[in-house]
Amino acid sequence: MPDRPLLDGITVLDLASVGPAVRASRWLADWGADVVKVGPVPKDAGVQIVPPAYAYSAQRGMRRVLLDLKSDGGRGAFLRLAADADVVIESFRPGVVDRLGIGFDDVSTVNPGIVYCSTTGYGQTGPRSGWAGHDLNYLAVGGYLHCSGRAAGGGPALPGATIADSAAGGLHAVAAICAALVARATTGEGTYLDVSIADGVLSLMSLAVDEYLAEGTEPGPRHGLLTGRYAWYDLYEAADGGWLTVAAIEPRFFANLCRALGAERWLDHQYDDDAVDAMRVDFAAAFSTRHRDDWAAELGPADTCVSAVLEIPEVVADEQFGARGNFTEVTHPTAGTIRQVAAPLAGQVDASTLEVRDQSIPDTDRILAHAGLSATEIGELRDVGAIA
């Protein structure tokens, strides 16, 4: 464990409650940033979704301040906090923060070095910029669902994870924020970041999209090497009903797989489209003769690129993740001890040492006092309902 986390000394103001922006601040906190959640005062509490205690890693290592951003006092208090912050993350509809007086121009006036990240579904511009949406919508418009496998009824299958929120949105925002912080270290200048989740999905789909742009082919389910065109990149059911993934792309791995399955007749036909169906039948027949874990134990370490499809309880108990320290325990003030996924950048922050606060009990006074507000000023703001 390093003496100093990578983002130690970086302060983040997070105006979001759920979704990609919160995923971004979660990663930043796990890498050592001081994340302050900015929420509404009780009279406006219904404007934000309150996630379950376990969600977003129970907001470990984060503090919370409650401000009425529609009031002069609340807006002024936010700008006082922003003056000493490094990053602001928000996920309102385009134009909202500017109307509130807390947009990039407002914040950069008091803090020219601010990295201001707006995370929205479709971005700040374009004909869909004002549309509401969620993970599934962004996967749809970015081409992901069309190129994925099909459900029983023939339509695109629902994904098993919020890929758009996590990778196309959250990690997209994290990468942009970290790049902007690096640039600021050289120039001293802040940056406005317009992070679109749909743009992120498009980037994730670049292999398929670039193929279409270069060659005119139209990718779809089982069109390409990585989407199931060939028998050696597919899923197969084992004798016990469990499933195995096969991804033997390299010729050496493909040859090892054929020999292990007793399918040597296909050794010289890896990319033979005429052999695909018969090869898939042979592979399926072979895998159906033994249990999933037996195959995984034999083929996993044998350079065949075969692994078991694990259910979530199996993932949690998996020896590889355990050896990597990918799970931790934290103590929540109301929910008790919670086991959860640890920091995603191994070895940077021991998540078990991060304090987990009851998010319903804000730390407003202490946060504002640290920003330079006097006890009298804080009291006056509370009296008029600008803070809570």
Enclosing H/E stretch for 63:
strand 62-66
Spatial contact of 77 and 387, defined as CB atoms under 8 Å apart: yes
**Residue 119 φ/ψ, nearest 5 degrees:** -115, 115
Q: How many residues can be counted in the chain?
A: 388
Q: Which of 165, 199, 234, 282 is catalytic?
A: 165
Quick count: other Cβ atoms within 10 Å of Cβ 370? 14
Burial class (CB in 10 A: 0-12, 13-18, 19+), 44: middle
Is 68 among the residues known to form the active site?
Answer: no
Burial class (CB in 10 A: 0-12, 13-18, 19+), 372: exposed
Angle, helices 172-187/20-30, rounded to nearest 10 degrees? 60
The CA-to-CA distance between both ends of the chain, in Å, stands at 37
Please say whether the dihedral angle defined by the alpha carbons of residues 344, 57, 51 and 73, taken in this order, is positive or negative.
negative
At 288, the amino acid letter reads S
Q: Which of 72, 84, 105, 134 is catalytic?
A: 134
Contacts of 207 (CB under 8 A, 6+ apart): 224, 226
As a whole number of angstroms, the distance between CA 135 and CA 29 comes to: 23
How far does Cα 65 stand from its chain's mean position?
24
**Residue 215 φ/ψ, nearest 5 degrees:** -120, -10
The Cβ-side half-sphere exposure at 257, using a 13 Å CA radius, reads 32
As a whole number of angstroms, the distance between CA 266 and CA 275 comes to: 8
R_g over Cα of the chain: 25
Is 134 among the residues known to form the active site?
Answer: yes
What are the residue numbers of the active site? 134, 165
